Structure 1
């Protein structure tokens, strides 16, 4: 074995990196005195909510009152957002994705979790009150307990039901709600759905547990946005542009269409903003966007419910 000064750093591998990114998130939260929950990956595996699988990112839900400070501290540790422009979305933006040149995984920092329509700070408090500790690399992660982890898993699966894996996870969670939870946990699931204003979103699960029928607890615009996301979310950002074109002021539609069709070279997504894309890379990116856009347009026009 060589002397310490001869040892070379070994690049992080993805399986270790994602877990260590959660540990890093916990440390950063301590630095800025805010609260953070490690969601999805380690929580889902800990509670056996899905088949174990490799995650390419670490999902952190941050107390909205400390979100800005947390992101700033993460940036001071060498993490940065990918180069990208802001685009219309069906649901309100809920997270930022951070990358690091020496880490093979992303960190998705959530200010809110889609499917909860109550005030994000109130939702976070409710989730925080139902928390557990999970130790990774000698660091205590804070994860949601079983019931909120199941709810987060259900909301995440519902937004991606066009993907077979998420349909499987949804079916698995439904089975667990029926067979794994006692009466007290089922009632807690319902209470959390009420506080989070997600009863209508989770109406199938709630009715299966015997609490139905469920009244709509969303406004008309919230329900429309959620329904649109379920129908068109698989088409990604293209559906957001199409909805923006339909709903936006007439005088702005030409400008919106131009922005939807063409991305300036300096705003083509990439990891390093100091390295501009080549003309070939830019055109490859534009063509792929046009293909997705045409597919989304056909799906959007064919769907009678808009």
Structure 2
């Protein structure tokens, strides 16, 4: 039977030139070594060694088998070393995705802290859906409860986001501490990409007393803020994006409050999760507590 221990015995006998020397090096008896070599010869169907005046010498097949066994053992040792480094977070690759407002500050902060803690792990930020987690092409994704999420992932709540209306600093309502939503009914609204959008429009429509008049659709946070600052419309900004707001924009809570949303981390089930994914999830939970 071919196994790592049998291959090691084969290499030891080949290097030391005798069963007794190999037995001593491996803390075995000489008959036990002899039996292992005999078992290998039966399994391979060839003679591996021939008797010599002082010990044994490999046959042509035996010399080839020793070289192959030595290479296999080296590869197995390399695999073990790489897996140990992987498990101990000395090496690896973490692929994550997030929605745009989370990328304004929260995700960069998380990646910076992760790299400080685990400098051997490469982190990449990609655009992908949670279905890529089940396919094994993504390790972690930040999502909201407004998203459709693949049923094959596990969700961990991180924080609850509130939303505020973003007004140009010169807007008459910007001087108020709270803004009645009904007074924004005639405003031009700036829509964004899901989930960084105006939220469930039916709830906003009910609060406004009519559907919002959407004049612009912009996926980019820089562009949305430029439109607001230019007095061309108003929009909604979430908790995670508020740290990146321009100085000529004012964020104000509304009455009634705008629809809130939950931010969650989507990860594979525990049995399929890499050590790096588990480490990032733990870091995100702690960071979310700070943001709360």
TM-score range, shorter chain: under 0.3
More helix by share: 1
Higher normalized strand content (fraction of residues): 2
Task: Report the TM-score when normalising by structure 2.
Answer: 0.23
Larger radius of gyration: 2
